[in-house]
Amino acid sequence: MSLSLYKQKRSFKDTPEPGPKVKSSKSGLKFVVQKHDATSLHYDFRLEMEGVLKSWAIPKGPSLNPEDKRLAMMVEDHPYDYKDFEGIIPEGNYGAGTVIVWDEGEYGSMDNEDKSQKEQEKILLSQLYKGDVKIVMHGKKLKGAFALVKMKGRGENTWLLIKKKDKWASDEDVTKKDKSVKSRKTIEQLAKDKNAKKWTSGKKATRTKSSSKSLVKKTAKPILLSERKATAVKKKLSR
């Protein structure tokens, strides 16, 4: 677990964003999916593990259809308290754009939900290291079994989010349920809300000229991508 990259991107004397503190829920592992209209629209899929939020940027968003394999680019760990953020990051700041809490709830390790939270985290971290994470989600929109699978030959950060076949599987486009589970507003409505919470990161937005090959190059240890870079890689891979 490491929040060093998250910390590098922010100046906490200037921002109300959560600081890089390790923190865990007291009962039940938490997840959040935040819809983020930044450089391009994407969904940030975050799972609590070891006091931080393991995070993936999903350009097309989650799917309930087992036939869909949704690209999920692993990004830097985020602090536990980030799961509650909904608001606007002003232009000129890192990650500028509107964020809503698209879904949230608890989740567990598939076939291990009878075990303690600590035991489940140990199993999940082992699966994360191996590149095959199997979970059961208990959200308002996302329910049932899912797998996060690391793609071979596409770099350390390229994963797929896949729905497992169960009673919750469906060919319904769940992303059409586009309102926040907190405010009941769409991302467009929140963007126009003058009372929406605004975060100033204290870190200026910059463009990166790195090629997709350098971003997904296989390395001995995973180098987590920023959400901005993850979106850029997705565009390259989809061509």
| Residue 237 within any structural domain of the chain | no
25 versus 159: the higher-pLDDT residue is: 159
| Residue 239 within any structural domain of the chain | no
Mean pLDDT, residues 143-147: 98
| Residue 238 within any structural domain of the chain | no
Distance CA 239, CA 237 (A): 6
- What average pLDDT does the structure give for the chain? 81
* Structural domain boundaries enclosing 159: 4-230
| Residue 236 within any structural domain of the chain | no
Token readout for 1 is 């677990």
pLDDT the model gives residue 199: 59
Neighbours of 26 (CB within 10 A): 5
Question: What predicted TM-score, i.e. pTM, was given to this entire model?
Answer: 0.77
The per-residue pLDDT for range 181-237, each reduced to its tens digit, is: 999 999 999 999 988 877 555 444 443 333 333 333 333 334 344 555 555 555 555
| Residue 202 within any structural domain of the chain | yes
What does the H/E/C string look like for 169-234?
CCCCCHHHCCCCCCCCCCHHHHHCCCCCCECCCCCECCCCCCCHHHHCCCCCCCCCECHHHHHHHH
| Residue 10 within any structural domain of the chain | yes
Structural domains counted in the chain? 1
Mean pLDDT, residues 35-41: 95
pLDDT the model gives residue 95: 83
| Residue 226 within any structural domain of the chain | yes
Per cent of the chain over pLDDT 70 is 72
